[in-house]
Amino acid sequence: MALSILLVEPDPNSREGLRSLLEAAGHEVGVAEDLAGAFMQLFSGPFDLLVLDTDRAPRREASVTVFDLLRLARKVYRPQPCGILVTSSVEDLPRDLPSQGVFAVLEKPVDLARLRQQLEAAEARLTQRTNAVTGS
């Protein structure tokens, strides 16, 4: 199953590399270089998965804004999208990530095998949520 993914990554090389990888795996990818662009992209969705870089601004500020973006996406779309955080440090992230829709955190540099594994898990979650919503 192909996912519709919103990728938010400020670094142009990382953004294009991840976009290429995700598209090569058969997924539809919308991209934004910052959170302002990501908020605009949300309305061109729907998105099944958000891949969010948390390192754009000071840690606390970025985390709050990233979670605001994910929270808005979860209010707008049914079934609710989930999120994968990409970060250089997990130390400053909140402990209640699953309750905020985050199901995976990937540390930089991103291990591509682990990213593929998380994409497969996201596909399985989407199938379960879709079946629950439609009653299939």
pLDDT digit string, tens, across residues 44-73: 878 999 999 987 644 444 444 788 888 889
If you average pLDDT over residues 28-33, what whole number do you get?
95
Fold exhibited by the domain 4-134: Rossmann fold (3.40.50)
If you average pLDDT over residues 100-104, what whole number do you get?
88
Upstream peptide bond of 46 is cis (omega within 30 degrees of 0) = yes
pLDDT at 6: 95
Please check the confidence at residue 2 and state whether its pLDDT lies above 50: yes
Cβ 105 vs Cβ 84: under 8 Å = yes
For residues 76 and 50, which has the higher predicted lDDT (pLDDT)?
50
Measuring CA to CA, how many Å separate 29 from each of 56, 80, 106? 20, 17, 18
Tell me if residue 6 falls in helix, strand or coil. Answer: strand
32 beta partners: 8
Tokens linked to 127: 């199938």
In the chain, % of residues over pLDDT 90: 43
